[in-house]
Amino acid sequence: MSTDSAPAAQEPDQEPDVPAAHAPPPGLLALCLAFARMSLAGFGGVLVFARHAIVDRHRWMTADEFNETFALCHFLPGPNIVNLSMVFGSRLRGIAGGVAAFTGLLLPPTLIMTLLAIIYARLGDVEVLRRILAGIACAAVGLLIAVVFRMMTPLLKRMDVVVLILMVGVFVAIGVLRLPLQAVLLVAMPLSIGVTFLMRRKVAA
């Protein structure tokens, strides 16, 4: 009895980074509503709430799958979170799923931003409003840093030294040395793909 109850008590604390954590794919309406909730909860920073909903709450993806999908969307033109909604929805429900996720993500914020733009045009010079927006900006940065650390968790668990070196190298090149993003990506992308291919080939052998 004691041996069966101990693992069950640890399940909620485990990171859902294994295929067994997958939940059944949602319907089109559920997919649209899920992304609508993400966009409303993450006003100004949807990535934080998208990862929490997709990986932790609904378990539609593992942590590794989310990182890989977001990495792909990061290298595509356009806003990352919009790319993610299309790729994620299409992966679960085809083209209709991509459209449903895309609609749920953009429709509520578009309506709200239209209303806020009208209000800001009238009250944008108010000093209290400027201070409120400055505080919101600080909170948004904190949320972004938090989700970056969450996305790093699978890499840190596996302790892939080469992968971590590549990640730090890209960060230093772009964030510290201020090298052009396009030039860094042209070097980092083929290098990371080649390293990953060699590592997986070595494991398979």
Report the number of secondary-structure helices (H) and strands (E) in the chain: 8, 0
pLDDT in tens, 125-160: 777 777 777 777 777 777 778 777 777 777 777 767
Angle of CA points 105, 28, 68, to nearest 5°: 60
Residue 3 has pLDDT above 50, yes or no: no
Look at residue 23 and give its three-state secondary structure. Answer: coil
pLDDT in tens, 159-194: 677 778 888 898 899 888 999 888 888 888 888 888
Residues 6 or more apart whose Cβ sits within 8 Å of residue 32: 100, 101, 103, 104
pLDDT in tens, 81-100: 899 999 999 998 999 999 99
Q: Which residue has the tokens 């996720």?
A: 101
